[in-house]
Structure 1
Amino acid sequence: MSRNICITAVEGQTGFLIAELLLTNNSFSGKLDSLVGLTLDPKADKAKELESLGAKIVPHSPGRVRDTIKALKSTGCDTLCLVPPASVDKKDICLELVAAASKAGVPNVCLISSAGCDYADPKLHPRLREFIEIETAVLQAKGDPSTSTGHSPCVIRAGFYAENILLYAPQAKSEGILPLPIGKNHKFAPVALGDVAQVAAHVLTGKGEHGFDDRHRGQMMIVTGPMLCAGNELAEAASQALGSPMEFENVSQAEAKRILKSQSDSDESEKQYILEYYSLVRQGSTNYIATTAFHDVTGEHPTQPTDFFKLYKSEFTEQEQPKKKKLRR
């Protein structure tokens, strides 16, 4: 059974990391016949790097379903990993891709969605709520007898990416604080981006009689980190890992917005998304962990907060002023 995978938005961190893992890890690369990166920016550094690793890079110019169908067909893919791009038009682009996949007859579709989207208020959290609409489009295809798309779906709801905490490295270095607008009492469970990529790679290369492995096919997988952290607990984990005192500062939404603007060059919609997620934390909607899917799919345990901070110790301790960072979506 062949497995020709097309991953969207490979110019971004999530799509890139999933593709890189599939191409470089022997546990996954041997199960691939081909890997295509669909990208809004074929000149992006990450797209070029994947091409050097053996991926075929295909430009994607959204706007017309017919053109997107043509682009998908040109990849020869039987499996689509739908990674929403960092764009103000994220929802429209994804809905177009779902429609094109249906017309192109791509049987296996894995969507990287967002944990917490089911708690999002459309008026207060419009960027988070977009993921519900994208999920609905993917899952609706399951009941459409006119297409093979939806025959083998999987949705991975990824929690708050721990890598977004790297945005606060300047404050951590110079002031010894993590300035987050999450309130003092409620908690969340940041997940390492690499852990999400691990789950996606297992799903995308898993094979069963009907497409994806029967253990994954049709699953709604929620993937968070393994530890619920209030702000002070997150700072404590950082202190242990970095070997220097770190304190949590509960800042206002306005201050958080200012920090994001000054320290991230991400799309404005992505900044809005992360502020909305902080809002979910403040209202208590993220007081849970979801690690069962990660363990069942990978057979391993997700990255602990202390291990995350150890992994990125240089980001918090280097002397040079870091460049503006991208949010991890």
Structure 2
Amino acid sequence: MSHRNICITAIDGNTGSSIAKYILEHENFKKKVGTITGLALNQNAPLAKEVQKLGVKIVQHKPGRVKQMVEQLKSTGADTICLIPPASEKKMDITRELVDATKKAGIPNVCFISSAGCDLADPQKQPRLREFIELETMVLAAKGDPDTQTGHSPVVIRPGFYAENLLLYAPQMQQEQSIPLPIGDKHKFAPMGITDLAHVAAHVLTGKGKHGFSDKHRGQLMVLTGPLLCAGEELATAASQALGTELEFEDISENEARSILEEQSSLDPSEIQYLLEYYSLVRDGKTNYISTTAYHDVTGQHPLEPPEFFNEMKKVFENGGENGNHEDGPPGKKRKVASK
């Protein structure tokens, strides 16, 4: 059986490293893979080092020259690429270049990690979120391009808000017994565990069919959220039950939220902006839905419930740790966990 050779971009972020770890730590996926190469804007990032120990080959990602990027992608021997926009102010430029280079390198199987809610984002109010639509379009446009193999086998995954982001507020949970979020008190959202995204991506990246990816996945747009809609109070209740301490939800302003994120995390400014825009999407009532059908269909399992998530993260809370975010993934001065 031929093995998949996979390239994962933004491997130094939470999303990329989580996907690589999931594949390599589960034998049913690992046995289908020959090599995993990770592109890293920062080769020395802790998450890049972590997956390197598991066997991922880390390659320095130097944006700016498409021609060199094409050669770099070809040199990895990859037949499959997991395209993850990096946590960077230049996210759009870097991702456009990666999509272009992927087409020119003729990599046939492309899994693009986008963001839930991007289709409902307002270009004026949530520009960072809306950008994902343009990037999805670039990936899917390859479908009709006769000059490249890229496009024969695309998958787009839109993961929702990572529950790990809530660990950014561990200090408030411990010192003030509160979860401070700028989401208002009326509307709901459905946080998901980053491992649920990694699980789906592992199935997609290692699945096979006669045209590349498995026919069950090829061409799919998969929206992933957690299975439970929570308003702020309900989130606080779930956390309280799991952590054995009484937590209150505190509805704060966007400015307060920005200050907390800037003070308590090592997040790139683009990630902070992404989080603030997602919170504003919640306030607008645009996240009042769950989307778990794709997860059930791909994995045959049920996604992580919020109480289960808090139980899993209990140790991190007890250590006053952080975890977190979306594009690169989550943040953390002490330890990074998750990345849209």
Structure 2 unmatched runs, 5+: 323-331
What displacement does 1:46 show? 2.0
Q: Give the letter aligned to residue 339 of structure 2.
A: R
- Specify the alignment match of 2:326 in structure 1: none
- Specify the alignment match of 2:34 in structure 1: 33
Deviation per residue, 1:223-256 (Å, 9 max, x gap): 0000000000000000111111111010011111
What displacement does 1:324 show? 5.8
What displacement does 1:52 show? 2.0
- Specify the alignment match of 1:238 in structure 2: 239
TM-score, length-scaled by structure 1: 0.97
**1:19 & 1:324 partners in 2: Cα distance?**
21
- Specify the alignment match of 1:217 in structure 2: 218
The 10-residue stretch of structure 1 (36-45 or 130-139) with the greater mean CA deviation from structure 2: 36-45
Runs of 4+ residues over 6 Å off in structure 1? 319-322
* 1:167 equivalent in alignment to 2:178: no
CA contact (8 A) 1:58 1:75 kept: no
Q: Give the letter aligned to residue 217 of structure 2.
A: H
CA contact (8 A) 1:11 1:45 kept: yes
**2:33 & 2:97 partners in 1: Cα distance?**
26
Deviation per residue, 1:175-224 (Å, 9 max, x gap): 11100000001000001001000000000000001000001000000000
Output aligned runs, 1:288-299, within 5 Å: 288-299=289-300
**2:140 & 2:159 partners in 1: Cα distance?**
17
Deviation per residue, 1:96-116 (Å, 9 max, x gap): 111001000000000111000
- Specify the alignment match of 2:310 in structure 1: 309
Output aligned runs, 1:155-234, within 5 Å: 155-234=156-235
Whose relative contact order is higher, 1 or 2, with alpha carbons under 8 Å and at least 6 apart? Answer: 2
**2:82 & 2:320 partners in 1: Cα distance?**
38
What displacement does 1:320 show? 8.4
Q: Give the letter aligned to residue 256 of structure 1.
A: A
**2:259 & 2:289 partners in 1: Cα distance?**
28
Change (3 A) 1:303 1:104: same
* 1:328 equivalent in alignment to 2:329: no
**1:177 & 1:12 partners in 2: Cα distance?**
28
Output aligned runs, 1:43-58, within 5 Å: 43-58=44-59
TM-score, length-scaled by structure 2: 0.94
**2:97 & 2:165 partners in 1: Cα distance?**
28
CA contact (8 A) 1:263 1:325 kept: no
Q: Tell me how large the CA RMSD over aligned residues is.
A: 1.5
**2:241 & 2:190 partners in 1: Cα distance?**
18
- Specify the alignment match of 1:139 in structure 2: 140
- Specify the alignment match of 2:152 in structure 1: 151
- Specify the alignment match of 2:100 in structure 1: 99
Deviation per residue, 1:133-162 (Å, 9 max, x gap): 110000000010110001000000000011
What displacement does 1:20 show? 1.2
Residue correspondences, number: 329
Deviation per residue, 1:301-325 (Å, 9 max, x gap): 0000000111111232336899466
Structure 1 unmatched runs, 5+: none
What displacement does 1:2 show? 3.5
CA contact (8 A) 2:171 2:320 kept: no
- Specify the alignment match of 2:327 in structure 1: none
**1:284 & 1:69 partners in 2: Cα distance?**
42
What displacement does 1:126 show? 1.1
